[in-house]
Structure 1
Amino acid sequence: MEGGCRRRVMVVADPNQESAGALQYALSKAIRENDELILFNVENPNSWRNTLTTFLRRPSRSSGSAAASIEGSLGHADFLEEMKNACKLAKPKVRVRVEKVALIEGKEKASIILDHSKALGVDILIIGQRRSLSTIILGYRRPGGSTRGTKPIDTAEYLIDKSSCTCVGVQKKGQNGGYLLNTKTHKNFWLLA
């Protein structure tokens, strides 16, 4: 691939299919050899998923509570290491780093991602997007308002709308079906795999 200036590409990394699809899009369509890839994760220590993961990953034999809690805490980090390893296999010349921050109580995940993308000087922000019919019809709630009686914020839509860099919301469509992309200027843009 041709040389050029290094871009910083940030992929929002979560342990779900949407995030895996966003990373696949980034590796196959968005990242150039000279770029730096940042896998960015906002950890929610109070999440039911972390609690469930800790419970399910406990060793079957009793090996002490310290070992069980270490194993549980590693369960969440495993997906980040797997993503990083996949990136290195797919794009060995691309510099890959992992950035993790804790969810701040009272602050929306989207705001945290937006703040860090600005602080890190990100050129392209890529996020997996799950668009349900209700999200499409009802839109999203802006942060800062009352949460009583309002719908939750759609992180991808908020980032697409508010990001000063290029932000791409990615929906992977099937194994070889391609991607449905959303940016500020293009909505529901179909890109074949």
Structure 2
Amino acid sequence: MTLAIENGSGKATQWQKVMVVAEPTRESAAALHYVLSRVVFDNDILYLLHVENPTFWKTCFKKQSSSTSREGGGCYGGCIGGDVDFLDQMKSACEVVHPRLKVKVSRVETDAKEKAYVIISETKVHGIDLLVVGKRQSLANAILGQSINGTIRETAEYLVENSKCTCVAVQRKGQTGGYLLHTKTHRNFWLLA
């Protein structure tokens, strides 16, 4: 749903709503980099959506507090120590690259099993035109294909297949290698940096 707005000179300016699934991971950072370099323009609206599992974070902090080393021990898979908020860092990066870009941050708590459903419902609530999610290529996905044991699918794959708006799963290929994009109609589309 791209909207046209009269800018006073008789020309209509197009703007869009883009949502990035934000997590403290390399894959999410690659998705945001793709959006900032290839997708959004001034006056667009960018939503950074973080869906967190409160049970995971309680377990994470319990592990961190019981470990003696802040850097070596603790939680794997995305916990960040200290007072640094990765969503604030992502928002600041967006504002540096595109100062006129409207950036909105949203946090939703849910069970890990409901994550994909919550993301899809948030795209409907905000009227999102494009959903972008970082995609992790695991060894299990590479060997077994789209599903593991026929039922479990990666969140990114589920979003690509079931989102009502356009959804792009992004994998970064090296520092200068470009992006590997997955959409409902295009698999393994290579976009050079």
Indicate the SS of the match to 1:10.
Answer: strand
The answer to whether the aligner puts 1:112 opposite 2:122 as a matched pair is no
Q: Of residues 94, 101, 106 in structure 2, which corresponds to 1:87?
A: 94
Corresponding residue of 1:33: 42
How far the C-alpha of 1:176 sits from its partner, in A, is 1.1
Amino acid at match of 2:103: V
Q: Any idea what the Cα deviations from partners look like across 1:101-151, whole Å, max 9, x if unmatched?
A: 00147x42111101111111000000000122422433137xxxxxxx665
Structure 2: 5+ residue stretches without partners: 1-10, 71-78
2:24 touches 2:80 (CA, 8 Å); kept in 1?
no
1:161 touches 1:184 (CA, 8 Å); kept in 2?
yes
2:54 touches 2:111 (CA, 8 Å); kept in 1?
no
- Paired with 1:5 and 1:101, the residues of 2 have a C-alpha distance of 29
Deviates more, 1:159-168 or 1:3-12: 3-12
Q: Of residues 82, 100, 104 in structure 2, which corresponds to 1:97?
A: 104
Q: Any idea what the Cα deviations from partners look like across 1:131-180, whole Å, max 9, x if unmatched?
A: 22422433137xxxxxxx66533111000000111100000111111000
Indicate the SS of the match to 2:180.
Answer: strand
Indicate the SS of the match to 2:35.
Answer: helix
| Alignment: residue pair count | 173
What is the TM-score of this pair, normalised by structure 2?
A: 0.78
Classify 1:78/1:54 alpha carbon distance in 2 versus 1 (closer, same or farther; 3 Å): farther
Classify 1:34/1:124 alpha carbon distance in 2 versus 1 (closer, same or farther; 3 Å): same
What is the TM-score of this pair, normalised by structure 1?
A: 0.78
Classify 1:84/1:3 alpha carbon distance in 2 versus 1 (closer, same or farther; 3 Å): farther
Corresponding residue of 1:167: 167
- Paired with 2:169 and 2:162, the residues of 1 have a C-alpha distance of 13
Q: After the TM superposition, which residues 110-189 of structure 1 pair with which residues of structure 2 at under 5 Å, given as runs? A: 110-136=116-142, 137-140=144-147, 152-189=152-189
- Paired with 1:74 and 1:8, the residues of 2 have a C-alpha distance of 32
How far the C-alpha of 1:46 sits from its partner, in A, is 1.1
Indicate the SS of the match to 1:108.
Answer: helix
- Paired with 1:56 and 1:8, the residues of 2 have a C-alpha distance of 42
- Paired with 1:138 and 1:18, the residues of 2 have a C-alpha distance of 19
Classify 1:150/1:116 alpha carbon distance in 2 versus 1 (closer, same or farther; 3 Å): same
Corresponding residue of 1:192: 192
Structure 1: 5+ residue stretches without partners: 61-71, 142-148
1:140 touches 1:158 (CA, 8 Å); kept in 2?
no
Q: Any idea what the Cα deviations from partners look like across 1:50-108, whole Å, max 9, x if unmatched?
A: 426853999x9xxxxxxxxxxx9985871000000000001111000101000147x42
Amino acid at match of 2:46: L
Greater strand share, structure number: 2
Deviates more, 1:152-161 or 1:7-16: 152-161
